[in-house]
Amino acid sequence: MADLYYLPASASCRSVIMVAKAIGLELNKKLLDLNTGEHLKPEFVKINPQHTIPTLVDNGFALWESRAILVYLVEKYGKTDSLYPKCPKKRAVINQRLYFDMGTLYQSFGDYYYPQLFGKAPADPELYKKIGVAFELLNTFLEGQTYAAGESLTIADIALLATVSTFDVAGYDFSKYENVNKWYANAKKVTPGWDENWAGCQEFKKYFD
């Protein structure tokens, strides 16, 4: 069984757990406490020199970057390709959404909230505006769409679900983005492992207290 070094509060870890659940893969989940610096211990840095979670170790093969892990899990263990179709065009759109999720949407979350949560910095209104720009884009991508990329649930939905639920639990008001809200309501219903994701979100919420 593959090991997953993780923390329930981490959005990127939660996306891996949801995809594993969706393909029926059991993972040997190993909690790694960032607060006590477990990720900086030599034994973990030897596995992942970038010392980030999630980190997957599958029979000696170590992989990190959550979206790369999602792709790997579906390609290696998915009984079908439905979560990451082999069709180059479908896959290209999924990849675009995944890069958008990492480089724009989640990035806007980290840029705005992390300095406040972990550095006691004041809120920066310019960074707050960038979250709105990212949500506006997601709203545009979702125009007339039930799913984030194509006609059915893919790893793009699952990565975005981990991110949007993190905004949700942070109290970010995205109610004006109608397409996002419709997509979110459906994604919560149809994504295996949503309950565990939401429980992890509650762990993240504690950082705001």
Q: What are residue 5's DSSP bridge partners?
A: 30, 55
List contacts with ligand GSH (CB under 6 A): 10, 12, 34, 39, 51-54, 64-66, 102
Residue type, 109: F
Q: How far is the CB of 101 from ligand GSH (least distance, A)?
A: 9
Q: How far is the CB of 72 from ligand GSH (least distance, A)?
A: 12
Do 169 and 189 meet the contact criterion of CB atoms below 8 Å apart?
no
For 4, the 3-state DSSP assignment is strand
Q: How far is the CB of 176 from ligand GSH (least distance, A)?
A: 27
Q: Is the dihedral of CA 58, 61, 64, 68 positive or negative?
A: negative
Q: Is 10 a catalytic residue?
A: yes
Q: How far is the CB of 64 from ligand GSH (least distance, A)?
A: 6
Please, which residue, 66 or 139, has the CB nearer to ligand GSH? 66
Tokens of 122: 């004041």
Do 134 and 108 meet the contact criterion of CB atoms below 8 Å apart?
yes
Taking alpha carbons only, the member of 76, 70, 77 closest to residue 97 is: 70
Strands (E), the chain: 3-6, 28-31, 55-58, 61-64
Please, which residue, 25 or 34, has the CB nearer to ligand GSH? 34
For 76, the 3-state DSSP assignment is helix
Cα separation, 20 vs 193, whole angstroms: 9
Tokens of 170: 């942070």
Q: How far is the CB of 98 from ligand GSH (least distance, A)?
A: 10
DSSP one-letter code for 65 = S
| Residues belonging to the active site | 10
